[in-house]
Amino acid sequence: MKGVSTDSVEGENVTLEDLKQKMAEFAKERNWDQFHSPRNLLLALVGEVGELSEIFQWKGEVPKGLPDWKDEEKEHLGEELSDVLLYLVRLSDICGVDLGKAALRKVELNAIKYPVKQCKGSSRKYNHLIKNNSSESS
Ligand SMILES: [Mg+2]
């Protein structure tokens, strides 16, 4: 969706619900609902993840904030990140999943899976965390 102007106000807080509605309108106006099956949307999402990956491909590690990147490169990055987000939002909608609720629940589940005491400063996966059996309370 490169070069497309939108009627949204720049800088305004955008919600997942806003994006969901915009994507639904976008598809409806073009009679694309017929193509937006869960499988098709998933494959489109994976394709966009590939396009996002291409931006970083062969660059090695890059510093946070991408200070050495040109404006055009950052703009392109924003476009591909958006493509991924928009397909993810659309896929969730078509599957009847409330993505905001599901994501918040997942953060809570991850907090249980990765207790601060056991994983602070560690990149170990949850099943490799060292169990802390001490009875100290916090
Ligand atoms: Mg793209």
Which pLDDT score is estimated for 135? 44
CA of 68 to the centre of ligand 1 (A): 22
Paired tokens of 11 = 């800088």
Contact of 50 with 87, CB cutoff 8 Å:
no
Q: Tens digits of per-residue pLDDT, 75-114? A: 999 999 999 999 999 999 999 999 999 999 999 999 999 9
User: Rounded distance, CA 60 to CA 70, Å?
Assistant: 17
**102 CA from centroid of ligand 1 (Å):** 25
In this predicted model, which residue has the larger pLDDT, 5 or 26?
Answer: 26
Closest-CA residue to 79 (of 111, 52, 118): 52
Ligand 1: distance of its center to the CA of 89 in Å?
15
Q: Just give the CATH number of 16-97.
A: 1.10.287.1080
Q: How many angstroms does the Cα of residue 80 sit away from the middle of ligand 1?
A: 5
pLDDT computed for residue 125 by the predictor:
84
Express each pLDDT in 9-57 by its tens digit. 565 799 999 999 999 999 999 999 999 999 999 999 999 999 999 999 9
Residues 4 and 38: their CA atoms lie apart, in Å, by 25
pLDDT of residue 138: 42
- Is the pTM value of this prediction over 0.75? yes
Q: ∠ at Cα 85 (17, 95), nearest 5°?
A: 65
Distance between CA atoms of residues 61 and 113, nearest Å: 28
- Chain-centre distance for alpha carbon 27: 20
* 136 Cα: distance to centroid of ligand 1 (angstroms): 50
CA angle at residue 11 from 80 to 64, to 5 degrees? 50
